Amino acid sequence: MITNNAKLSRLKYEHVVEYSKKLLSLLNPNLKYHSFEHTFNHVVPATFELTNKLDNETKNLAAIAGALHDIGFLFKYAGHEYESARMAKKYFLETTDSYTFDQVDIILSAIEKTNLGEKPVSLVDKIVRDSDLSYIARPDFMNQISNLMNESLLCKQDPLYSVALKGIGPWIDSSIKFFSMFGWNSSQAEELYGKRKVKNLEKMGQVLKLIDY
């Protein structure tokens, strides 16, 4: 329910996680990037990493948005962020847990801002966007890049479909260009992930040389 006065809590977060896990467990198993693991092994843990030194309200807002950011994938690929926000709003209206109008607005905004065509504004927007892209700073980043390419091949609506068709060389090259252009939205992500991202970009460049692209 949405009300004028409410505090976030660990229990409310756990209820959201339970709801999200039920939905994400129904995703097409061929989706190797936008998956149950992407949300709960990468994005949500990243929100906690990035909010480690912040207040509990911000931690919960970011973690809840992270848990819900891809639930719309059940119904659409392109623009799934907006479907995720629509479904999240329905959840907040129907749950017995209470949320304020401001809390819901912040969470829905952060979900929508994971769309790369949107510009993150609030700190929670920035934390969740950075968490969604944090795989570029992780040890298994090449697996994630490969998973995203294979997933793009399954959907002609994906704007990256034509790049994926060309193979792994052009895909890695495109990934290098994308991640070289974008900067972290939050100072927290720059501090934690900045150097790791640079190192991983260098490794991608080395892979391109090895495959003689």
User: Per residue in 193-202, pLDDT tens?
Assistant: 999 999 999 9
Residue linked to tokens 């949405």: 2
Write down all domains in the chain, each with its CATH number in brackets: 2-210 (1.10.3210.10)
Reported confidence tier of residue 213, pLDDT bands at 50, 70, 90:
low
What separation, in Å, do the N-terminal and C-terminal C-alpha atoms of the chain show?
Answer: 54
4-61 pLDDT, tens digit per residue, is: 888 899 999 999 999 999 999 999 888 889 999 999 999 999 999 999 999 999 999 9
pLDDT at 159: 84
Distance, C-alpha 67 to centroid of its chain: 9
Closest CA to 141 of 95, 204, 67, 99: 204
Q: Give the whole-angstrom CA distance, residue 153 versus residue 151.
A: 5
pLDDT at 99: 97
